[in-house]
Structure 1
Protein backbone atom coordinates (compact mmCIF):
# COMPACT_ATOMS: atom_id res chain seq x y z
CA UNK A 1 0.00 0.00 0.00
CA UNK A 2 1.39 3.42 -0.92
CA UNK A 3 2.25 5.73 1.95
CA UNK A 4 1.13 9.32 2.20
CA UNK A 5 3.74 11.67 3.57
CA UNK A 6 2.60 14.70 5.52
CA UNK A 7 4.83 17.79 5.96
CA UNK A 8 4.66 21.56 6.36
CA UNK A 9 5.12 23.95 3.47
CA UNK A 10 6.69 27.42 3.65
CA UNK A 11 3.43 28.94 4.80
CA UNK A 12 3.19 26.48 7.68
CA UNK A 13 0.29 24.68 6.01
CA UNK A 14 -0.10 20.94 6.41
CA UNK A 15 0.43 19.11 3.12
CA UNK A 16 0.25 15.51 1.98
CA UNK A 17 2.62 13.91 -0.48
CA UNK A 18 1.18 11.11 -2.56
CA UNK A 19 3.09 8.89 -5.01
CA UNK A 20 2.33 9.16 -8.71
CA UNK A 21 0.01 6.56 -10.29
CA UNK A 22 1.55 3.47 -11.83
CA UNK A 23 2.38 3.49 -15.57
CA UNK A 24 -0.63 2.98 -17.77
CA UNK A 25 -3.09 3.92 -15.04
CA UNK A 26 -6.04 5.77 -16.42
CA UNK A 27 -7.50 7.35 -13.38
CA UNK A 28 -10.85 9.01 -13.24
CA UNK A 29 -12.08 11.84 -11.11
CA UNK A 30 -14.06 10.54 -8.18
CA UNK A 31 -17.39 12.30 -7.72
CA UNK A 32 -19.27 11.81 -4.46
CA UNK A 33 -22.71 12.84 -3.34
CA UNK A 34 -23.30 16.13 -1.61
CA UNK A 35 -24.12 14.26 1.58
CA UNK A 36 -20.68 12.60 1.67
CA UNK A 37 -18.60 15.71 1.04
CA UNK A 38 -19.71 17.65 4.14
CA UNK A 39 -18.93 14.55 6.26
CA UNK A 40 -15.45 14.34 4.84
CA UNK A 41 -14.87 18.08 5.18
CA UNK A 42 -15.89 17.92 8.79
CA UNK A 43 -13.89 14.73 9.28
CA UNK A 44 -10.70 16.36 8.06
CA UNK A 45 -11.36 19.43 10.16
CA UNK A 46 -11.82 17.35 13.30
CA UNK A 47 -8.82 15.15 12.48
CA UNK A 48 -6.40 18.09 12.33
CA UNK A 49 -7.90 19.67 15.44
CA UNK A 50 -9.25 22.90 14.04
CA UNK A 51 -12.99 22.40 14.56
CA UNK A 52 -14.70 22.90 17.87
CA UNK A 53 -18.17 23.63 16.59
CA UNK A 54 -20.95 21.24 17.43
CA UNK A 55 -22.40 21.48 13.95
CA UNK A 56 -19.22 20.25 12.21
CA UNK A 57 -18.62 17.58 14.84
CA UNK A 58 -22.12 16.31 14.27
CA UNK A 59 -21.43 15.97 10.55
CA UNK A 60 -18.21 14.09 11.31
CA UNK A 61 -20.05 11.57 13.47
CA UNK A 62 -22.46 10.64 10.67
CA UNK A 63 -19.97 8.60 8.64
CA UNK A 64 -16.39 7.49 8.04
CA UNK A 65 -13.80 10.02 7.05
CA UNK A 66 -10.29 10.02 5.62
CA UNK A 67 -7.93 12.99 6.12
CA UNK A 68 -6.14 12.35 2.83
CA UNK A 69 -9.28 11.82 0.78
CA UNK A 70 -10.79 14.78 2.52
CA UNK A 71 -7.86 16.94 1.52
CA UNK A 72 -8.23 15.91 -2.09
CA UNK A 73 -11.99 16.46 -2.08
CA UNK A 74 -11.49 19.91 -0.65
CA UNK A 75 -9.67 20.97 -3.78
CA UNK A 76 -6.01 20.10 -3.29
CA UNK A 77 -3.82 21.00 -6.24
CA UNK A 78 -0.58 19.43 -7.37
CA UNK A 79 2.66 21.16 -6.49
CA UNK A 80 4.23 21.84 -9.90
CA UNK A 81 7.56 22.61 -8.28
CA UNK A 82 7.91 18.97 -7.23
CA UNK A 83 10.04 16.69 -9.46
CA UNK A 84 7.89 15.09 -12.13
CA UNK A 85 7.62 11.32 -11.86
CA UNK A 86 8.59 11.23 -8.19
CA UNK A 87 6.04 12.82 -5.88
CA UNK A 88 3.22 15.30 -6.01
CA UNK A 89 2.35 17.63 -3.14
CA UNK A 90 -1.26 18.27 -2.32
CA UNK A 91 -1.47 21.72 -0.78
CA UNK A 92 -3.38 22.13 2.44
CA UNK A 93 -6.81 23.61 2.00
CA UNK A 94 -8.39 26.44 3.99
CA UNK A 95 -10.45 24.15 6.16
CA UNK A 96 -11.58 27.07 8.24
CA UNK A 97 -13.63 28.54 5.40
CA UNK A 98 -15.23 25.17 4.61
CA UNK A 99 -15.98 24.56 8.28
CA UNK A 100 -17.49 28.03 8.59
CA UNK A 101 -19.70 27.29 5.60
CA UNK A 102 -20.96 24.10 7.22
CA UNK A 103 -21.58 25.88 10.51
CA UNK A 104 -23.45 28.67 8.71
CA UNK A 105 -25.63 26.06 7.03
CA UNK A 106 -26.39 24.54 10.43
CA UNK A 107 -27.15 27.97 11.86
CA UNK A 108 -29.45 28.84 8.96
CA UNK A 109 -31.26 25.52 9.34
CA UNK A 110 -31.65 26.10 13.07
CA UNK A 111 -32.88 29.64 12.51
CA UNK A 112 -35.39 28.45 9.92
CA UNK A 113 -36.70 25.84 12.35
CA UNK A 114 -36.89 28.46 15.11
CA UNK A 115 -38.76 30.91 12.88
CA UNK A 116 -41.19 28.20 11.85
CA UNK A 117 -41.79 27.30 15.49
CA UNK A 118 -42.19 30.98 16.36
CA UNK A 119 -44.70 31.41 13.56
CA UNK A 120 -46.72 28.47 14.83
CA UNK A 121 -46.62 29.91 18.37
CA UNK A 122 -47.69 33.35 17.15
CA UNK A 123 -50.50 31.91 15.10
CA UNK A 124 -51.60 29.85 18.10
CA UNK A 125 -51.54 32.93 20.34
CA UNK A 126 -53.52 34.96 17.80
CA UNK A 127 -56.09 32.19 17.52
CA UNK A 128 -56.45 31.94 21.31
CA UNK A 129 -56.71 35.73 21.60
CA UNK A 130 -59.40 35.86 18.94
CA UNK A 131 -61.28 33.03 20.65
CA UNK A 132 -61.10 34.82 24.01
CA UNK A 133 -62.35 38.07 22.49
CA UNK A 134 -65.17 36.23 20.75
CA UNK A 135 -66.13 34.51 24.01
CA UNK A 136 -66.08 37.83 25.89
CA UNK A 137 -68.20 39.47 23.21
CA UNK A 138 -70.73 36.64 23.27
CA UNK A 139 -70.87 36.78 27.07
CA UNK A 140 -71.48 40.55 26.96
CA UNK A 141 -74.19 40.13 24.32
CA UNK A 142 -75.85 37.42 26.38
CA UNK A 143 -75.79 39.65 29.48
CA UNK A 144 -77.23 42.54 27.48
CA UNK A 145 -80.00 40.31 26.14
CA UNK A 146 -81.03 39.42 29.69
CA UNK A 147 -81.50 43.08 30.65
CA UNK A 148 -84.98 44.61 30.47
CA UNK A 149 -85.55 46.75 27.37
CA UNK A 150 -85.90 49.87 29.51
CA UNK A 151 -82.45 49.34 31.06
CA UNK A 152 -80.87 48.76 27.67
CA UNK A 153 -82.43 51.98 26.41
CA UNK A 154 -81.22 54.04 29.37
CA UNK A 155 -77.73 52.60 29.12
CA UNK A 156 -77.69 53.49 25.43
CA UNK A 157 -78.39 57.13 26.35
CA UNK A 158 -75.71 57.05 29.02
CA UNK A 159 -73.16 55.56 26.63
CA UNK A 160 -73.86 58.27 24.07
CA UNK A 161 -73.61 61.03 26.71
CA UNK A 162 -70.30 59.64 28.00
CA UNK A 163 -68.90 59.78 24.47
CA UNK A 164 -69.89 63.43 24.11
CA UNK A 165 -68.53 64.33 27.55
CA UNK A 166 -65.20 62.62 26.93
CA UNK A 167 -64.87 64.37 23.57
CA UNK A 168 -65.42 67.71 25.32
CA UNK A 169 -62.84 67.39 28.07
CA UNK A 170 -64.63 65.54 30.88
CA UNK A 171 -62.47 62.74 32.31
CA UNK A 172 -65.05 59.97 32.13
CA UNK A 173 -65.34 56.47 30.68
CA UNK A 174 -68.00 53.79 30.51
CA UNK A 175 -66.74 52.59 33.89
CA UNK A 176 -69.14 55.22 35.27
CA UNK A 177 -72.13 53.59 33.61
CA UNK A 178 -73.47 51.97 36.80
CA UNK A 179 -73.22 55.15 38.87
CA UNK A 180 -75.09 57.24 36.31
CA UNK A 181 -77.70 54.52 35.83
CA UNK A 182 -78.31 54.37 39.60
CA UNK A 183 -78.76 58.14 39.82
CA UNK A 184 -81.22 58.15 36.93
CA UNK A 185 -83.33 55.35 38.42
CA UNK A 186 -83.38 56.98 41.84
CA UNK A 187 -84.12 60.49 40.53
CA UNK A 188 -86.65 59.86 37.73
CA UNK A 189 -87.09 56.08 37.42
CA UNK A 190 -85.75 56.44 33.90
CA UNK A 191 -88.49 58.81 32.66
CA UNK A 192 -87.03 61.58 30.45
CA UNK A 193 -90.18 63.67 30.93
CA UNK A 194 -90.32 63.43 34.72
CA UNK A 195 -91.00 66.70 36.60
CA UNK A 196 -90.83 67.06 40.38
CA UNK A 197 -93.69 69.19 41.63
CA UNK A 198 -93.37 68.73 45.39
CA UNK A 199 -89.80 69.47 46.59
CA UNK A 200 -88.22 72.76 47.66
CA UNK A 201 -87.06 73.51 44.13
CA UNK A 202 -90.62 73.19 42.88
CA UNK A 203 -91.76 75.45 45.70
CA UNK A 204 -89.34 78.12 44.44
CA UNK A 205 -90.68 77.78 40.91
CA UNK A 206 -87.77 75.82 39.47
CA UNK A 207 -88.89 72.20 39.47
CA UNK A 208 -86.37 69.43 38.71
CA UNK A 209 -86.79 67.93 35.23
CA UNK A 210 -85.63 65.03 33.10
CA UNK A 211 -83.64 61.88 33.72
CA UNK A 212 -81.23 63.36 36.27
CA UNK A 213 -83.70 65.93 37.60
CA UNK A 214 -81.86 69.12 36.78
CA UNK A 215 -83.45 72.47 37.54
CA UNK A 216 -83.45 74.99 34.70
CA UNK A 217 -80.63 77.24 36.07
CA UNK A 218 -78.37 74.23 36.68
CA UNK A 219 -79.11 72.80 33.26
CA UNK A 220 -78.28 76.08 31.51
CA UNK A 221 -75.03 76.41 33.46
CA UNK A 222 -73.71 72.91 32.72
CA UNK A 223 -75.15 71.93 29.33
CA UNK A 224 -72.94 71.75 26.26
CA UNK A 225 -73.54 73.77 23.10
CA UNK A 226 -75.91 71.93 20.81
CA UNK A 227 -77.36 69.88 23.70
CA UNK A 228 -79.96 72.40 24.81
CA UNK A 229 -83.10 70.39 25.53
CA UNK A 230 -83.56 69.59 29.22
CA UNK A 231 -85.98 66.77 28.37
CA UNK A 232 -83.71 65.14 25.80
CA UNK A 233 -82.10 62.16 27.57
CA UNK A 234 -78.50 62.70 26.37
CA UNK A 235 -78.65 66.48 26.95
CA UNK A 236 -79.96 66.01 30.49
CA UNK A 237 -77.32 63.41 31.36
CA UNK A 238 -74.53 65.67 30.07
CA UNK A 239 -75.63 68.55 32.29
CA UNK A 240 -76.22 66.31 35.32
CA UNK A 241 -72.78 64.70 35.06
CA UNK A 242 -70.97 68.01 34.58
CA UNK A 243 -72.79 69.43 37.61
CA UNK A 244 -71.79 66.38 39.68
CA UNK A 245 -68.15 66.80 38.67
CA UNK A 246 -68.19 70.54 39.38
CA UNK A 247 -69.85 70.31 42.80
CA UNK A 248 -68.67 66.95 44.17
CA UNK A 249 -65.53 66.21 42.16
CA UNK A 250 -67.04 63.08 40.68
CA UNK A 251 -69.34 60.23 41.66
CA UNK A 252 -67.24 59.20 44.67
CA UNK A 253 -68.71 62.10 46.70
CA UNK A 254 -72.20 62.13 45.20
CA UNK A 255 -74.49 62.21 48.29
CA UNK A 256 -76.97 59.71 46.90
CA UNK A 257 -74.29 57.15 46.00
CA UNK A 258 -72.48 57.69 49.30
CA UNK A 259 -75.76 57.09 51.16
CA UNK A 260 -76.30 53.81 49.31
CA UNK A 261 -72.76 52.62 50.02
CA UNK A 262 -73.13 53.46 53.71
CA UNK A 263 -76.49 51.77 53.98
CA UNK A 264 -78.45 54.92 54.82
CA UNK A 265 -80.24 55.11 51.47
CA UNK A 266 -80.21 57.41 48.50
CA UNK A 267 -80.15 61.18 49.03
CA UNK A 268 -81.04 63.64 46.29
CA UNK A 269 -78.22 65.81 45.04
Structure 2
Protein backbone atom coordinates (compact mmCIF):
# COMPACT_ATOMS: atom_id res chain seq x y z
CA UNK A 1 0.00 0.00 0.00
CA UNK A 2 1.33 3.50 -0.92
CA UNK A 3 0.20 6.90 0.35
CA UNK A 4 0.08 10.03 -1.90
CA UNK A 5 -0.84 13.64 -1.04
CA UNK A 6 -2.96 15.69 -3.43
CA UNK A 7 -2.69 19.42 -3.99
CA UNK A 8 -5.97 20.10 -2.27
CA UNK A 9 -4.61 18.44 0.94
CA UNK A 10 -6.32 15.15 0.51
CA UNK A 11 -4.46 11.90 1.11
CA UNK A 12 -4.97 9.02 -1.31
CA UNK A 13 -4.00 5.41 -0.56
CA UNK A 14 -3.18 3.06 -3.41
CA UNK A 15 -3.25 -0.71 -2.95
CA UNK A 16 -0.45 -2.48 -4.84
CA UNK A 17 -1.31 -5.98 -5.98
CA UNK A 18 0.76 -8.82 -4.47
CA UNK A 19 3.74 -9.62 -6.67
CA UNK A 20 4.02 -13.19 -7.80
CA UNK A 21 7.55 -14.69 -7.71
CA UNK A 22 8.38 -17.20 -10.35
CA UNK A 23 11.33 -19.56 -10.63
CA UNK A 24 14.25 -17.96 -12.42
CA UNK A 25 17.93 -17.27 -12.02
CA UNK A 26 17.53 -16.72 -8.27
CA UNK A 27 15.86 -19.23 -6.00
CA UNK A 28 13.44 -17.76 -3.50
CA UNK A 29 11.98 -19.88 -0.73
CA UNK A 30 8.21 -19.95 -0.72
CA UNK A 31 6.63 -19.08 2.59
CA UNK A 32 4.77 -22.31 2.27
CA UNK A 33 7.99 -24.41 2.74
CA UNK A 34 7.59 -26.13 6.12
CA UNK A 35 9.54 -24.49 8.93
CA UNK A 36 10.94 -27.85 10.01
CA UNK A 37 12.52 -28.36 6.59
CA UNK A 38 14.20 -24.95 6.65
CA UNK A 39 15.55 -25.50 10.17
CA UNK A 40 16.85 -28.93 9.12
CA UNK A 41 18.72 -27.40 6.16
CA UNK A 42 20.37 -24.84 8.43
CA UNK A 43 21.47 -27.57 10.87
CA UNK A 44 22.90 -29.69 8.05
CA UNK A 45 24.82 -26.71 6.65
CA UNK A 46 26.26 -25.92 10.07
CA UNK A 47 27.13 -29.57 10.54
CA UNK A 48 29.03 -29.67 7.24
CA UNK A 49 31.01 -26.57 8.21
CA UNK A 50 31.85 -27.93 11.64
CA UNK A 51 32.71 -31.38 10.34
CA UNK A 52 34.93 -29.99 7.59
CA UNK A 53 36.71 -27.76 10.09
CA UNK A 54 37.21 -30.67 12.45
CA UNK A 55 38.66 -32.74 9.61
CA UNK A 56 41.09 -29.93 8.73
CA UNK A 57 42.10 -29.61 12.35
CA UNK A 58 42.69 -33.34 12.72
CA UNK A 59 44.63 -33.47 9.46
CA UNK A 60 47.10 -30.84 10.70
CA UNK A 61 47.36 -31.60 14.39
CA UNK A 62 45.55 -34.77 15.40
CA UNK A 63 45.79 -38.53 15.00
CA UNK A 64 43.79 -40.65 12.61
CA UNK A 65 41.07 -41.22 15.23
CA UNK A 66 40.44 -37.47 15.41
CA UNK A 67 40.25 -37.30 11.63
CA UNK A 68 37.54 -39.93 11.67
CA UNK A 69 35.80 -38.07 14.47
CA UNK A 70 35.89 -34.91 12.35
CA UNK A 71 34.11 -36.72 9.57
CA UNK A 72 31.50 -37.88 12.06
CA UNK A 73 30.92 -34.27 13.04
CA UNK A 74 28.97 -33.81 9.83
CA UNK A 75 25.95 -34.84 11.88
CA UNK A 76 26.88 -33.06 15.11
CA UNK A 77 24.47 -31.00 17.17
CA UNK A 78 24.82 -27.17 17.02
CA UNK A 79 26.67 -26.76 20.34
CA UNK A 80 29.35 -29.25 19.31
CA UNK A 81 29.60 -27.58 15.92
CA UNK A 82 30.22 -24.19 17.47
CA UNK A 83 32.88 -25.66 19.74
CA UNK A 84 34.64 -27.38 16.81
CA UNK A 85 34.51 -24.23 14.71
CA UNK A 86 36.02 -22.21 17.56
CA UNK A 87 38.80 -24.81 17.98
CA UNK A 88 39.73 -24.65 14.30
CA UNK A 89 39.59 -20.86 14.40
CA UNK A 90 42.38 -20.87 17.00
CA UNK A 91 44.66 -23.20 14.96
CA UNK A 92 47.05 -22.02 12.25
CA UNK A 93 47.19 -24.97 9.82
CA UNK A 94 50.30 -23.62 8.09
CA UNK A 95 52.21 -23.43 11.38
CA UNK A 96 51.09 -26.90 12.41
CA UNK A 97 52.17 -28.41 9.09
CA UNK A 98 55.55 -26.69 9.38
CA UNK A 99 56.02 -28.05 12.90
CA UNK A 100 55.11 -31.57 11.79
CA UNK A 101 57.57 -31.37 8.88
CA UNK A 102 60.33 -30.12 11.19
CA UNK A 103 59.66 -32.91 13.67
CA UNK A 104 59.67 -35.50 10.89
CA UNK A 105 62.94 -34.10 9.56
CA UNK A 106 64.53 -34.23 13.02
CA UNK A 107 63.28 -37.78 13.53
CA UNK A 108 64.64 -38.84 10.14
CA UNK A 109 68.02 -37.24 10.91
CA UNK A 110 68.22 -38.95 14.30
CA UNK A 111 67.24 -42.28 12.76
CA UNK A 112 69.90 -41.87 10.07
CA UNK A 113 72.58 -40.97 12.62
CA UNK A 114 71.67 -43.93 14.82
CA UNK A 115 71.71 -46.28 11.84
CA UNK A 116 75.07 -44.86 10.72
CA UNK A 117 76.55 -45.34 14.19
CA UNK A 118 75.27 -48.89 14.38
CA UNK A 119 76.72 -49.62 10.96
CA UNK A 120 80.07 -48.07 11.92
CA UNK A 121 80.18 -49.96 15.21
CA UNK A 122 79.27 -53.19 13.45
CA UNK A 123 81.97 -52.59 10.83
CA UNK A 124 84.56 -51.84 13.53
CA UNK A 125 83.57 -54.98 15.42
CA UNK A 126 83.89 -57.08 12.28
CA UNK A 127 87.31 -55.58 11.55
CA UNK A 128 88.47 -56.20 15.12
CA UNK A 129 87.20 -59.78 15.00
CA UNK A 130 88.88 -60.35 11.63
CA UNK A 131 92.16 -58.91 12.93
CA UNK A 132 92.01 -61.06 16.07
CA UNK A 133 91.32 -64.16 14.00
CA UNK A 134 94.21 -63.35 11.63
CA UNK A 135 96.54 -62.94 14.60
CA UNK A 136 95.31 -66.20 16.06
CA UNK A 137 95.97 -67.97 12.78
CA UNK A 138 99.50 -66.56 12.66
CA UNK A 139 100.11 -67.70 16.24
CA UNK A 140 98.81 -71.18 15.47
CA UNK A 141 101.24 -71.49 12.57
CA UNK A 142 104.20 -70.75 14.82
CA UNK A 143 106.14 -73.67 16.33
CA UNK A 144 105.07 -74.60 19.84
CA UNK A 145 108.49 -73.58 21.22
CA UNK A 146 108.18 -70.09 19.73
CA UNK A 147 104.69 -69.64 21.18
CA UNK A 148 106.02 -70.67 24.59
CA UNK A 149 108.95 -68.24 24.50
CA UNK A 150 106.78 -65.38 23.25
CA UNK A 151 104.35 -66.12 26.07
CA UNK A 152 107.17 -65.60 28.59
CA UNK A 153 108.16 -62.38 26.84
CA UNK A 154 104.61 -60.99 26.97
CA UNK A 155 104.34 -61.84 30.67
CA UNK A 156 107.64 -60.04 31.34
CA UNK A 157 106.49 -56.99 29.36
CA UNK A 158 103.35 -56.69 31.51
CA UNK A 159 105.46 -56.72 34.66
CA UNK A 160 107.93 -54.21 33.20
CA UNK A 161 105.09 -51.87 32.23
CA UNK A 162 103.66 -52.08 35.75
CA UNK A 163 107.09 -51.07 37.10
CA UNK A 164 107.66 -48.05 34.87
CA UNK A 165 109.46 -49.40 31.82
CA UNK A 166 108.21 -47.82 28.59
CA UNK A 167 107.70 -51.00 26.58
CA UNK A 168 104.88 -52.83 24.82
CA UNK A 169 104.29 -55.91 22.70
CA UNK A 170 105.87 -54.25 19.65
CA UNK A 171 109.18 -55.35 21.23
CA UNK A 172 108.25 -59.04 21.32
CA UNK A 173 110.01 -59.84 18.02
CA UNK A 174 113.21 -58.05 19.06
CA UNK A 175 113.39 -59.80 22.42
CA UNK A 176 112.60 -63.12 20.79
CA UNK A 177 115.46 -62.63 18.31
CA UNK A 178 117.90 -61.89 21.15
CA UNK A 179 116.76 -64.95 23.10
CA UNK A 180 117.14 -67.27 20.11
CA UNK A 181 120.61 -65.91 19.34
CA UNK A 182 121.76 -65.99 22.98
CA UNK A 183 120.31 -69.27 24.30
CA UNK A 184 118.21 -70.81 21.51
CA UNK A 185 115.21 -70.41 23.80
CA UNK A 186 116.60 -72.62 26.58
CA UNK A 187 115.93 -71.05 30.01
CA UNK A 188 118.49 -73.37 31.62
CA UNK A 189 121.33 -72.53 29.23
CA UNK A 190 124.69 -71.73 30.89
CA UNK A 191 127.72 -70.57 28.88
CA UNK A 192 130.91 -72.12 30.31
CA UNK A 193 133.33 -71.19 27.53
CA UNK A 194 133.22 -67.39 26.85
CA UNK A 195 135.23 -64.63 28.53
CA UNK A 196 132.62 -64.17 31.24
CA UNK A 197 132.92 -67.83 32.15
CA UNK A 198 136.74 -67.48 32.28
CA UNK A 199 136.24 -64.71 34.89
CA UNK A 200 133.97 -66.96 36.92
CA UNK A 201 130.67 -65.31 35.97
CA UNK A 202 129.16 -67.45 33.22
CA UNK A 203 126.12 -66.13 31.28
CA UNK A 204 122.87 -67.83 32.23
CA UNK A 205 119.27 -68.18 31.16
CA UNK A 206 117.27 -67.03 28.12
CA UNK A 207 119.03 -63.67 27.68
CA UNK A 208 122.38 -64.90 29.04
CA UNK A 209 122.78 -62.55 31.94
CA UNK A 210 125.77 -62.87 34.24
CA UNK A 211 125.03 -62.94 37.97
CA UNK A 212 126.20 -59.36 38.77
CA UNK A 213 124.13 -57.92 35.89
CA UNK A 214 121.08 -59.94 36.89
CA UNK A 215 121.27 -58.76 40.51
CA UNK A 216 121.60 -55.15 39.39
CA UNK A 217 118.61 -55.13 37.03
CA UNK A 218 116.16 -57.69 38.39
CA UNK A 219 112.91 -56.61 40.01
CA UNK A 220 112.01 -57.46 43.59
CA UNK A 221 110.24 -60.78 43.72
CA UNK A 222 111.75 -61.95 40.41
CA UNK A 223 115.01 -63.29 41.78
CA UNK A 224 115.67 -66.55 39.91
CA UNK A 225 118.13 -66.03 37.06
CA UNK A 226 117.03 -69.30 35.41
CA UNK A 227 113.29 -68.49 35.61
CA UNK A 228 112.23 -67.37 32.10
CA UNK A 229 110.24 -64.25 33.07
CA UNK A 230 112.76 -63.17 35.73
CA UNK A 231 115.66 -63.47 33.29
CA UNK A 232 113.86 -61.51 30.56
CA UNK A 233 113.00 -58.69 32.98
CA UNK A 234 116.64 -58.23 33.96
CA UNK A 235 117.88 -58.53 30.35
CA UNK A 236 115.42 -55.88 29.09
CA UNK A 237 116.18 -53.44 31.92
CA UNK A 238 119.92 -53.84 31.28
CA UNK A 239 119.41 -53.15 27.54
CA UNK A 240 117.41 -49.99 28.29
CA UNK A 241 119.97 -48.80 30.84
CA UNK A 242 123.02 -49.36 28.64
CA UNK A 243 121.72 -48.79 25.09
CA UNK A 244 118.53 -46.77 25.57
CA UNK A 245 116.41 -49.48 23.99
CA UNK A 246 116.52 -52.21 21.40
CA UNK A 247 117.13 -49.78 18.52
CA UNK A 248 120.74 -49.52 19.74
CA UNK A 249 121.24 -53.16 20.75
CA UNK A 250 124.54 -54.12 19.00
CA UNK A 251 123.34 -57.56 17.89
CA UNK A 252 120.10 -56.20 16.34
CA UNK A 253 121.83 -53.19 14.77
CA UNK A 254 124.42 -55.35 13.06
CA UNK A 255 121.77 -57.75 11.78
CA UNK A 256 119.80 -54.84 10.35
CA UNK A 257 122.94 -53.78 8.49
CA UNK A 258 123.17 -57.23 6.92
CA UNK A 259 125.78 -58.65 9.32
CA UNK A 260 125.65 -61.32 11.99
CA UNK A 261 124.45 -61.15 15.55
CA UNK A 262 126.77 -59.61 18.17
CA UNK A 263 126.53 -60.32 21.88
CA UNK A 264 125.66 -57.49 24.23
TM-score (norm 1): 0.69
Q: Residues 32 and 250 of structure 1: is their aligned pair in 2 closer, same or farther, counting only changes over 3 Å?
A: same
State how far apart, in whole Å, the 2-side matches of 1:35 and 1:158 are: 78
State how far apart, in whole Å, the 2-side matches of 1:139 and 1:35 are: 63
1:29 aligns with 2:57: no
Whether contact under 8 Å (1:38, 1:102) holds in the other structure is no
State how far apart, in whole Å, the 2-side matches of 1:173 and 1:148 are: 23
1:251 aligns with 2:246: yes
Correspondence for 1:116: 111
Number of aligned residues: 205
State how far apart, in whole Å, the 1-side matches of 2:137 and 2:232 are: 26
State how far apart, in whole Å, the 2-side matches of 1:207 and 1:112 are: 75
State how far apart, in whole Å, the 1-side matches of 2:109 and 2:85 are: 34
**Structure 1, residues 77-96: CA drift from partner, whole Å, max 9, x if none?**
9xxxxxxxxxxxxxxx667x
Q: Residues 106 and 74 of structure 1: is their aligned pair in 2 closer, same or farther, counting only changes over 3 Å?
A: farther
* 188, 208, 213: which one aligns with 2:183: 188
Q: CA deviation at 1:111?
A: 1.3
Correspondence for 1:156: 151
Correspondence for 2:209: 214
Q: Residues 238 and 35 of structure 1: is their aligned pair in 2 closer, same or farther, counting only changes over 3 Å?
A: farther
Q: CA deviation at 1:223?
A: 0.1
* 219, 224, 248: which one aligns with 2:219: 224
* 128, 132, 141: which one aligns with 1:146: 141
Q: Residues 103 and 223 of structure 1: is their aligned pair in 2 closer, same or farther, counting only changes over 3 Å?
A: same
Counterpart of 1:29 in 2: which secondary structure? helix
State how far apart, in whole Å, the 2-side matches of 1:197 and 1:34 are: 104
Whether contact under 8 Å (2:54, 2:85) holds in the other structure is no
Counterpart of 1:209 in 2: which secondary structure? coil
* 127, 131, 136: which one aligns with 2:131: 136
Q: CA deviation at 1:26?
A: 2.3
Correspondence for 2:200: 205
Q: Residues 34 and 183 of structure 1: is their aligned pair in 2 closer, same or farther, counting only changes over 3 Å?
A: farther
State how far apart, in whole Å, the 2-side matches of 1:107 and 1:178 are: 58
Higher share in helix: 2
Whether contact under 8 Å (2:154, 2:172) holds in the other structure is yes
State how far apart, in whole Å, the 2-side matches of 1:40 and 1:234 are: 75
Greater relative contact order (Cα < 8 A, sep 6+): 1
Q: CA deviation at 1:101?
A: 2.6
Q: CA deviation at 1:119?
A: 2.1
- Structure 1 residue runs of 4 or more that deviate by more than 4 Å after TM superposition: 33-41, 72-77
Q: Residues 261 and 116 of structure 1: is their aligned pair in 2 closer, same or farther, counting only changes over 3 Å?
A: same
1:100 aligns with 2:86: no
Gaps of 5+ in 2: 1-24, 27-37, 62-81
